[in-house]
Amino acid sequence: MAAWAGGDLLAAESSTPPERVVVSADGFSGYAADYARSKGFGFTDDAAKLLHQVAEESANQIFASPELSRDGLIADAKSTFKKLVDAMIESSKEIPGYAAKHPGKLGGQTYEGAKKKLCPIWPVCTKRKESGQ
């Protein structure tokens, strides 16, 4: 049975099946943080706050969706958080001097760079429409 809510992250490693990720801001942001750690990176406080906001919006939109579509939305959100972290890592290498000044850290600058690459991907840049698009 899927875990749809809760305060604790049941599982956040990137191999966790979508139905085992807790649908909460903490669950999704924890998933992103674990994925970043698996790549040798961590988030600065500002990036963690930005990701938590996206994670909160993701969880809210999933809860507002019909229950039948939630598994797909969870899988979409997990995939997008991985893409976001990967794009942030890429941005850290492209921003002149960033990697040298902030080794192993992903911050607000890398988040903004990633957003420019990924938009309009849900849930990073857009809200899902009620029609499910």
Residue 46 pLDDT > 90: yes
Query: pLDDT at position 130, please?
Result: 42
Position 124 confidence tier, pLDDT thresholds 50, 70, 90: confident
Query: pLDDT at position 19, please?
Result: 47
Contact 74, 20 (CB under 8 A): no
Q: Pick from 57, 48, 55, 115: which is nearest to 84 by CA? A: 115
| Segment 61-106, tens digit of pLDDT | 898 888 888 888 999 999 999 999 999 999 999 999 999 999 999 9
Query: pLDDT at position 1, please?
Result: 30
Query: pLDDT at position 24, please?
Result: 87
Query: pLDDT at position 12, please?
Result: 39
Written as one string, the DSSP assignment of 7-57 is SS-S--STTS-GGGS-SSHHHHHHHHHHHHHHTT-EE-HHHHHHHHHHHHH
Domain ranges of the chain: 21-118
